[in-house]
Amino acid sequence: MEISHSAKFWGAFLSFTIFLGVYSDFNLMVASTEQTVLSSAKKSLAKFSEKMTEKAWGNVGAIAYHAGDRLMIDNNAKPQSLDEIQKEYLRPHFGDLVDRVMVVYSAVLMEDWVAASFKINVGRSNAQVYGHRVYIRDIYRPGDLQQIVLLAHELYHCKQYEELGSLSKFGYHYFFQYKKADRKYEKNIFEQEAFKFEKFFASWLANEVRVNGTRSRNRRAKKNSDMSLEPENESLDR
Ligand SMILES: [Zn+2]
C-alpha cells in the first residue's frame, strides 16, 4: 500500500521532532521556548505514536536511524578495525564482514536510541550498531573473549544491515519489527536472532578455547581465557 501524503507529512514532521529530541539528549543547549514547544510536541506525539501503524514506525525509523548514525559519528572518536584475535574468532562465522566492520570503544551511547515519542528505550546498553560501525561503551580489551562475544552479537546486526542493504532499510525494518513486537525491545525479531547467535557463539568459543587453547598467534589472548562465558546477569540491552 502506498504511503499517503499525510503520512509523508507526518513522517517529515516527526523526524524533525526526533532531531530535536536527540539533540536535547546530548545536552545541547535548547532555548526554553523551544523546550516548551518540544515538550508539548512530545506529548501529542506520545498519543499519536500509540495509534501509528508498524509501517509508520518503519518510516520514522528509516529517517531516525540515519540521524542517529550522524550524531554518533559526531559525538564519538574515530573507529578502529577489529584486531587480529577478534577477526580470527569471528571470521568463521561472518566471513569478510570482519574486514568491513569498524569499532569505537569507550563510546558515548544514546540511552534512548531515538528520542521523542518514537524512542526505542534500550536501557543502559553496552553497545549499539549503525551500519558497519559498532559502538561499545567499555574500553578496548585486547584478547578479552567476553568482549569478542559482545562483538559477535553486534556483528550479527551488521550482517542484518548488509542483508537489508542500507541504513534506511535497516532503520525501517528494525522499527517496524519493534512496533510489531509490541514495543518490547527483547521481543524484536532482530534482537532475538542476535541473542540466539550470541548464545551459540559463546558456547562455540568456549569449546574452541577448551579444545585448542588460545591459538598460537593469539598469544595476547588471556590464558585461562579469564572469563566465564556464562551469560551475564544483565538485561537484554545490546
Ligand atoms: Zn542487539
Separation of CA 10 and ligand 1 centre (Å): 28
Separation of CA 46 and ligand 1 centre (Å): 25
Separation of CA 52 and ligand 1 centre (Å): 24
Cell of 87: 577477526
> Could you give the angle at which helices 167-180 and 189-212 cross, rounded to 10 degrees?
110
Separation of CA 233 and ligand 1 centre (Å): 16
* pLDDT digit string, tens, across residues 166-215: 999 999 999 999 999 998 889 999 999 999 999 999 999 999 999 988 76
Distance CA 88, CA 145 (A): 12
Mean pLDDT of each 10-residue bin along the chain, 238 residues long: 41 42 37 55 64 88 90 93 97 98 92 53 76 96 95 97 96 94 92 96 95 63 46 44
- Cα distances from 10 to residues 130, 139, 197, 201, in angstroms, run 24, 40, 37, 42
Separation of CA 38 and ligand 1 centre (Å): 29
Separation of CA 70 and ligand 1 centre (Å): 19
Distance CA 82, CA 148 (A): 10
Separation of CA 57 and ligand 1 centre (Å): 19
Separation of CA 2 and ligand 1 centre (Å): 30
